[in-house]
Structure 1
Amino acid sequence: MRIGQLARRSGVSVRALRYYEEQRLLESTRTPGGQRDYPDEAMERVQLIQDLFAAGLSSRTVVELLPCVSTGVATPAMLDQLIIERDRIAARIQDLTRAKTKLGRVIENVTAANVAQD
């Protein structure tokens, strides 16, 4: 698929897809006319990259870890890094869950106060 089609289907800008290629996160072939051509699996790869970025991983870290996603094989150092990132994400989820709970209580209190005023 062409870069515009991948951008539309993935919801990621053409500029971001080019950046992913520059960072060696995504690969394409070129048509005889020089246009980028992505395999169907690129969609899944872009979604994974987006998820990893959303989880706070840097492009450098993603570049280091993506090979084991593709091959299912990791060096001991890669495995250690995967575990570190997983644990960091888990801690972040706990922090966000706590913040969500606190905000829920604030909303309940504000709602109850507003009802009491009526």
Structure 2
Amino acid sequence: MRIGELSTQTDTPARSLRYYEEQGLIEPKRLHNGYRDYDDYLVDRVIQIRGLLEAGLPTRIIKQILPCLDKPRTIHFADATPEMLATLQRERDQMTRRIECLIRNRNAIDGYLGAVSELA
């Protein structure tokens, strides 16, 4: 598929898709005319990348863990250094704090909506 199709299917700007390619997160084929040709599996990959970015992971970490996310039951990460593991633990802990904050905010909105609904 062409970049516009992938952009539409993943709700991701083409500029972001080119950035993901530049960062080594996705790798489209090139047609004889130089156009990018994206395999169908990249739809899920781009959605996964966006989720990880929205969770706060930097692209350098995403690039390292993407191979593990394809087949989580067969994780073989031979070059995992203590520094990388510490970085992943920090990122995970930051995600946990963001999740807790989002849950508190969602609960507050639920409470507000419940109170307003009773008045209506």
TM range (shorter): 0.7 to 0.9
Aligned residues of 1:65 and 1:82 also touching (Cα < 8 A):
no
Identity of aligned residues (%): 38
Q: Which moved more, 1:72-81 or 1:40-49?
A: 72-81
Show structure 1 runs of 5+ residues with no match. none
> Quick one: distance in 1 between partners of 2:5 and 2:114?
45
Number of positions where the alignment pairs a residue of Structure 1 with one of Structure 2 = 114
Equivalent in the alignment of 1:7: 7
Give the 3 Å change call, closer, same or farther, for CA 68–79 of structure 1 in structure 2.
farther
Equivalent in the alignment of 1:92: 98
AA at the equivalent of 2:105:
A
In the TM superposition, residue 24 of structure 1 has moved relative to its aligned partner by 0.8
Give the 3 Å change call, closer, same or farther, for CA 111–42 of structure 1 in structure 2.
closer
In the TM superposition, residue 28 of structure 1 has moved relative to its aligned partner by 0.9
Aligned residues of 2:56 and 2:91 also touching (Cα < 8 A):
no
> Quick one: distance in 1 between partners of 2:10 and 2:113?
35
AA at the equivalent of 2:94:
R
**Deviations along 1:13-52, whole A, 9 cap, x unmatched?**
1111101101111101101111111111110100000110
> Quick one: distance in 1 between partners of 2:69 and 2:87?
13
Give the 5 Å matches for 1:66-85.
66-70=66-70, 72-74=75-77, 75=80, 77=82, 81-85=87-91
Q: Which moved more, 1:20-29 or 1:99-108?
A: 99-108
> Quick one: distance in 1 between partners of 2:30 and 2:113?
54
Bigger Rg, which one: 1
Q: Normalising by the residue count of structure 1, what TM-score does the alignment of the two structures yield?
A: 0.76
Aligned residues of 1:28 and 1:37 also touching (Cα < 8 A):
yes
- SS of alignment partner, residue 18 of structure 1: helix
Q: Normalising by the residue count of structure 2, what TM-score does the alignment of the two structures yield?
A: 0.75
Aligned-pair Cα RMSD in Å: 2.4
In the TM superposition, residue 79 of structure 1 has moved relative to its aligned partner by 5.2
